Copies of this chain bind each other. A is one copy, B any other.
Amino acid sequence: MLSKKCKYAIHALVYLAERYDQGPIQIEEIAKKQHIPHKFLEAILLELRHADILESKKGKGGGYFLVKKPTEVNLMQVMRLIDGPIALLPCVSLNFYGRCEECKSEKICGIRDSLALVRDETLRVLEQSTLAKILKREKQLAQK
């Protein structure tokens, strides 16, 4: 399951995507509208800034804004950044590879294939899920 932190991150990003090119948005505004604890959100946005997804401006009139286009940010990136590996085993992770200690030999493990397949399918869907698409869907759903 996604961590709360990751859900918060996604909601904040969608919020910023909706206000793309409208200048900096303050943490406090996002926190209130999305019901996220201010200080926690602060840490999350900082992480997204360090990953070059957001940029910030200090002082009065400051805040956060997307530095990438909403079509260029997807759930795969965000989830990897906040929650780490997408794969269900370290030994099939592309970005966080590690041996499974309990496996004698990786070459003989019959589980890996299945979980590598799960990983591929998951990545395919998450990579398609851009902020732009999520936003579009939300607007469609809101209209009904």
Residue numbers of A with Cβ under 8 A of B are 1-2, 4, 7-8, 10-11, 14, 34-36, 75, 84-85, 87-90, 100, 102, 104, 107-111, 113-114, 117-118, 121-122, 124-126, 128-129, 133-138, 141-142
* A114 and B108 contact, CB distance less than 8 A: no
Residue numbers in B under 8 Å from A137 (CB-CB): 110, 113
A-B contact pairs, 13 of them (CB 8 A): A1-B88, A1-B89, A2-B88, A7-B100, A75-B111, A107-B141, A108-B142, A110-B137, A110-B138, A111-B129, A113-B137, A114-B128, A121-B125
Residue numbers in B under 8 Å from A88 (CB-CB): 1-2
* B135 and A102 contact, CB distance less than 8 A: no
* B1 and A85 contact, CB distance less than 8 A: yes
* B102 and A34 contact, CB distance less than 8 A: yes
State the Cβ distance, A128 to closest chain B Cβ, in Å: 8
Q: Which of B110, B135, B136 contacts A141 (CB 8 A)?
A: B110
* Residue in B closest to A117 when the chains form the complex, CB atoms: B125
